[in-house]
């Protein structure tokens, strides 16, 4: 079963800013984790890329497992890999709290989502920009988190796709109130507001945090904008 304490703790702090470790300084990984621990972000988002599902390579379960003892942060793994069912146990073993796979990589993910749920890991499904929401609709009740890619997966530093808020809005109307709605790609102080207004409550952010000298300020400012926009909806 999903560890509901973990899930609800994360949700109760919404909106959540999840730093994307793809953009961190890997030469100073320990220090980066310490700096992020000092921010309001309760999460580290791990972008796993295999050079096959996406045209880029990042890191794998071994690195995540080595970082796990350094922090209590929620570990959110985003697997941009082919055949995720072959590797998912490595990420469970590495100590990930949430694992998200792409519907394009695993068109029938029910077995995997059930497996994650039984392992006490929050199950997530991601959709790439060109993929219609109908593809994930049959599985939404089994997801603790759904992730809308607002850039083509594979690289940080891209521009937010302008049609993403409409997709988020549509997805929001399809999920239960306690499902986390994550948006990933091109999120900064100029785009986070429209994503929040559309209904996202979890924001994966790389460049807009790691390009700043003060990560705490960057996270607080992003969270403030998201909170303001969310509050204006009520």
Ligand X SMILES: O=C(CO)[C@@H](O)[C@H](O)COP(=O)(O)O
With binding defined as CB under 6 A, does residue 185 bind ligand X? yes
Tokens 């570990």 locate to 75
With binding defined as CB under 6 A, does residue 154 bind ligand X? yes
Is 214 among the catalytic positions?
no
**Of the candidates 10, 19, 20, 196, which one interacts with ligand X according to CB under 6 A?**
20
Cβ contacts of residue 64 below 8 Å, gap of 6+? 46, 75, 77, 91, 94, 95, 96
With binding defined as CB under 6 A, does residue 156 bind ligand X? yes
With binding defined as CB under 6 A, does residue 19 bind ligand X? no
- Give the footprint of ligand X on residues 196-225 (CB under 6 A): 204-208
Is 47 among the catalytic positions?
yes
DSSP string, 143-197: -SEEEEESS-TT-SSPPPPTTHHHHHHHHHTTS-TTSEEEEESS-STTTHHHHHH
**Of the candidates 100, 122, 184, 219, which one interacts with ligand X according to CB under 6 A?**
184
d(CA 161, CA 152): 9
d(CA 72, CA 84): 25
211 is in an annotated binding site: no
With binding defined as CB under 6 A, does residue 187 bind ligand X? yes
List active site positions: 47, 184
Residues that bind ligand X (CB under 6 A): 20, 22-23, 47, 78, 151, 153-158, 184-187, 204-208
């Amino acid at each position: 079963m999903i560890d509901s304490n973990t899930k609800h703790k994360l949700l109760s702090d919404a909106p959540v800013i999840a730093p994307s470790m793809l953009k961190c300084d890997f030469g100073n990984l320990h220090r980066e984790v310490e700096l992020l621990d000092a921010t309001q972000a309760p999460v580290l988002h791990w972008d796993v890329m295999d050079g096959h599902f996406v045209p880029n390579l990042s890191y794998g379960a071994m690195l995540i497992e080595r970082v796990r003892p350094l922090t209590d942060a929620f570990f959110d793994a985003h697997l941009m890999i082919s055949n995720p069912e072959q590797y998912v146990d490595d990420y469970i073993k590495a100590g990930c709290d949430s694992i998200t796979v792409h519907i394009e990589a695993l068109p029938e993910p029910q077995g995997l989502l059930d497996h994650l749920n039984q392992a006490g890991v929050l199950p997530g499904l991601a959709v790439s920009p060109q993929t219609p929401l109908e593809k994930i609709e049959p599985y939404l009740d089994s997801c603790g988190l759904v992730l809308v890619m607002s850039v083509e997966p594979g690289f940080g530093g891209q521009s937010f796709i302008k049609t993403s808020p409409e997709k988020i809005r549509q997805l929001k109307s399809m999920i239960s109130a306690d499902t986390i709605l994550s948006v990933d790609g091109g999120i900064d102080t100029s785009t986070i507001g429209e994503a929040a207004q559309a209904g996202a409550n979890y924001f994966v952010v790389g460049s807009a945090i790691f390009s700043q000298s003060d990560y705490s300020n960057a996270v607080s400012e992003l969270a403030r904008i998201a909170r303001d926009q969310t509050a204006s909806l009520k």
